[in-house]
Amino acid sequence: MITRVTTQMTMAAAGERLQANAARVAEATQRATTLQAIAKPSDDPVGTGSSMQVRKDQAAAAQYTRNANDAVGWLATTDSSLSSAYSVLGKVRDLTVQAANSGTMGDTDRDALVAQFRALKADLEATANTKYGTRSVFAGSSTDVAAYVPGTGFATATTPVARRLGDSQTVRVDTPGAAAFGTGATSAFAVIDDIVADLQNGVNVNPRLNDVDSAIDAVRSTQADVGVRHAAALAAQDTLKSTSVSLENRRSGIEDLDLAGAVLDLQVQQTTYQAALAVTAKVLQPTLMDYLR
């Protein structure tokens, strides 16, 4: 059966083709402007699913990175505090040796040494109350204002403070103050008090050197443990940086368009549309007057 093709049908078909070409130009323009391969899920359902998973992994990596940064900062602060404590106890030892070798001292010399010991004890107490942000590094999960209170001791921590650095990796960031500075009569603070008492009572302080050395060993041992945890946090930090770069490359490969390719596609679509306009103008050029002549 022969179907009669009218001018109106030709014009309608030409209009549809022009609309389709114009739509492709608009889509190419949007891609070239936004450089996004997926404007809506229906553009690439599989790519959309992959993109959602990658973005989920990126969000998790970003949180782990924040945790790692916090852990590194907390442990670095703790390490610095323990270095200060080691330095203070080193000075305590030097003064103790000086006092032990001074023989008979006058009241003035004795009072001067006592004042120095008390000043060093105050420095040690300040170190024991070091904070990272608003948290005491030696108080664990305790919310007490100060980790160490003279005469009372260290705040009791119910649970350790940890940071998750990966799906299966955590690192403890707090350090028990009692482990670093001791407790009760054997604490570093009590050792300094005992030295001061011996000086005031005219007792030779040489035997106290062993107590000072024990306090120094406790600080160094604790600092070594902090160093191991700090190194683990730094390693996780580096790993997470690499992971973040890898995930961003994956996301870009799925979602982003190459600028040169997008511009070339836009030029092709524009050229095609212009050609379609020119051809349509030629085909539909005759009017009713042309048929009446």
Q: Are 58 and 248 in contact (CB under 8 A)?
A: yes
Q: Are 276 and 23 in contact (CB under 8 A)?
A: no
Better-scored residue on pLDDT, 151 or 190: 190
Tokens of 152: 């009372």
Structure confidence by residue, pLDDT tens digits, 164-189: 999 999 999 999 999 999 998 899 99
| CATH 1.20.1330.10 holds for 53-251 | yes
Share of residues in the chain with pLDDT > 90 (%): 48
Better-scored residue on pLDDT, 24 or 85: 85
Q: Is the pLDDT of residue 33 over 70?
A: no
> What are the residue boundaries of the structural domains of the chain, listed by start?
53-251
127-133: average pLDDT = 92
Q: What is the mean pLDDT of the chain?
A: 83
Q: Is the pLDDT of residue 4 over 70?
A: no
- Which range (12-21, 41-50, 98-107, 148-157) has the least confidence? 12-21
pTM of this structure: 0.76
